[in-house]
Amino acid sequence: MKVLIDINVILDVLCGRAEFLEASSRVWKYCEINKLSGVISALSVPNIVYILRKELDPDKTKEIIDRILLIFEVAELKAEDLRKAAEMKTADYEDAIQMCCADRINADFIVTRNIRDFVSSPVPAVKPSELLDRI
């Protein structure tokens, strides 16, 4: 099963967000052991570094990026994704890019805690715990 992992699931693990850590960590683990084919958008990596910038020095930034790249495939960002996302006229352009990317790579699901922002997605969105129930 191929899944596009949304940034909030990545941040749950990196930031140790207690409420979401167990399910998000299990999704990471399943990607790590190839029980799931986990993909993140190339857009997610600089956004993660930007969000965590106050807590990261260059060595820690490299460590986090290396860890992410070891576990997840990175789907390149294409101009067509940007165009299609703009045409979707959703409230969150970044989420629209994720939707377009997930569709282009033929993902089975988008894994996110933010289901409501993905209602117009051609690829169904599920919470980490819901994905775990489907495996």
pLDDT in tens, 28-81: 999 999 999 999 999 999 999 899 888 888 898 899 999 999 999 999 999 999
Give, rounded to a whole angstrom, the gap between the first and last alpha carbons of the chain: 9
Q: How far apart are CA 6 and CA 69, in angstroms?
A: 15
Write the DSSP symbol of residue 109.
E
Average pLDDT over residues 12-24: 94
For 114-124, what is each residue's pLDDT tens digit?
999 999 999 99
Q: How far apart are CA 120 and CA 92, in angstroms?
A: 11
Q: Provide the whole-model pTM.
A: 0.92
Please report the domains of the chain, with CATH numbers, ordered by start residue.
Answer: 2-134 (3.40.50.1010)
pLDDT, residue 56, reads 80
Which of 2, 88, 77, 78 shows the shortest CA–CA distance to 37?
A: 2
pLDDT band for 97, please (50, 70, 90 cuts): very high
> How far apart, in Å, are the Cα atoms of 132 and each of 20, 40, 91, 118, 122?
13, 18, 28, 19, 21
Q: How far apart are CA 60 and CA 41, in angstroms?
A: 21
